[in-house]
């Protein structure tokens, strides 16, 4: 669509019997203006492509880190060790079995909470990482808005100046000035967004580590309380 708009300008010049390069005004020809507009269009399209390409790369990197952290946390291993301690107590005899059964609800709750806690940590990390996609999509949307605005104005210049190459050149140059300013704003937005995305990409794994460590510490602490209660029960049964 955007290349087509500039194609219309060139086609207009040919139909009207003059070449873009011959329309000279204030040391800038119609061809110069068209080339400048085309250059800006290409820069904006490159910005869209580069931003779009960053999305899967960064998100995949964050997902890999999330997976690595969860694997290192190794909840199944923690749960297995807790169950092993319980089985060792049960193996001590009838008193051990009775005291474990007395704490069965607490034991089951401990294991369920550990699993739920790990799931909450993972879900939170995934939600945070989704912000990366939102940030980069905002840049792509803004760039598309600029392109659409630019195209609409180019078409209007053609419609308003069907017989006057100088007026057409002036009209297109007005677009060039405003869109150049928009391109500068877009470049600042891209730099700001990339910095924000990198910050999020670092925060997500860090927050996940903090979260799973809290789950692990709370699980171990609660397990110790339950084991202590079972041991007291066994001691009282002797």
Nearest-angstrom CA–CA distance, 139 and 190: 6
Query: In this structure, what token pair is assigned to residue 1?
Result: 């669509």
Cβ atoms within 10 Å of 174's Cβ, excluding its own: 13
Share of the chain above pLDDT 70, in %: 88
In what helix (H) or strand (E) does residue 24 lie, and over which residues does it extend?
Answer: strand 24-25
Residue from 113, 93, 114, 112 nearest 233 by CA:
93
Between 15 and 137, name the one with better pLDDT: 137
Cβ atoms within 10 Å of 107's Cβ, excluding its own: 19
Average pLDDT, the chain: 83
Between 52 and 118, name the one with better pLDDT: 118
Residue from 175, 232, 195 nearest 2 by CA:
175
Q: Which residues neighbour 4 within 8 Å (Cβ) at sequence distance 6 or greater?
A: none
Q: Is the pTM of this model over 0.75?
A: no
Q: What is the pLDDT of residue 123?
A: 93
For residues 113 and 219, the answer to whether their CB atoms sit within 8 Å is yes
Q: What are phi and psi of 124, to 5 degrees?
A: -65, -40
Nearest-angstrom CA–CA distance, 238 and 235: 5
pLDDT at position 211 over 90? yes
Nearest-angstrom CA–CA distance, 3 and 45: 11
pLDDT at position 48 over 90? no
Nearest-angstrom CA–CA distance, 27 and 6: 21
pLDDT classification of 4: cutoffs 50, 70, 90:
very low
3-state secondary structure of 27: coil
Token pair 């001590």 is at which residue?
A: 92
For residues 191 and 32, the answer to whether their CB atoms sit within 8 Å is no
- Per residue in 168-177, pLDDT (tens digit) is 888 988 888 8
User: What mean pLDDT comes out for the span 187-192?
Assistant: 87
pLDDT classification of 225: cutoffs 50, 70, 90:
very high
Q: What is the pLDDT of residue 7?
A: 40
Nearest-angstrom CA–CA distance, 202 and 182: 30
Query: In this structure, what token pair is assigned to residue 132?
Result: 């990366």
pLDDT at position 73 over 60? yes
Q: What's the number of CA atoms in the CB half-sphere (13 Å) around residue 43?
A: 16
pLDDT classification of 27: cutoffs 50, 70, 90:
low
Q: What is the pLDDT of residue 19?
A: 40
Q: What is the pLDDT of residue 11?
A: 38
CA angle 200, 59, 77 (to 5 degrees): 90
């Amino acid at each position: 669509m955007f290349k087509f708009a500039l194609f219309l300008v060139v086609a207009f010049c040919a139909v009207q019997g003059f070449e873009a390069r011959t329309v000279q005004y204030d040391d800038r020809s119609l061809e110069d203006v068209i080339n400048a507009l085309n250059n800006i269009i290409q820069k904006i399209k490159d910005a869209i492509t580069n931003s779009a390409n960053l999305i899967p790369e960064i998100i995949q990197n964050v997902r890999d880190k999330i997976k690595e952290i969860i694997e290192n946390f190794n909840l199944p291993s923690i749960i297995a060790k807790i169950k092993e301690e319980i089985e060792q107590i049960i193996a001590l005899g009838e008193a051990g079995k009775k005291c474990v059964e007395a704490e069965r609800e607490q034991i089951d709750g401990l294991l369920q909470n550990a699993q739920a806690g790990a799931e909450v940590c993972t879900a939170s990390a995934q939600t945070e990482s989704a912000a990366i996609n939102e940030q980069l999509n905002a840049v792509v949307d803004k760039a598309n808005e600029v392109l659409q605005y630019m195209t609409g104005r180019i078409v209007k210049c053609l419609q308003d100046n069907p017989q006057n190459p100088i007026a057409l050149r002036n009209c297109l140059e007005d677009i060039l000035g405003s869109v150049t300013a928009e391109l500068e704003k877009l470049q600042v937005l891209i730099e700001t967004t990339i910095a924000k995305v990198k910050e999020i990409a670092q925060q997500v794994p860090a927050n996940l580590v903090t979260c799973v460590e809290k789950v692990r510490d709370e699980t171990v602490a609660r397990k110790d309380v339950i084991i202590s209660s079972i041991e007291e029960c066994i001691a009282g049964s002797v």
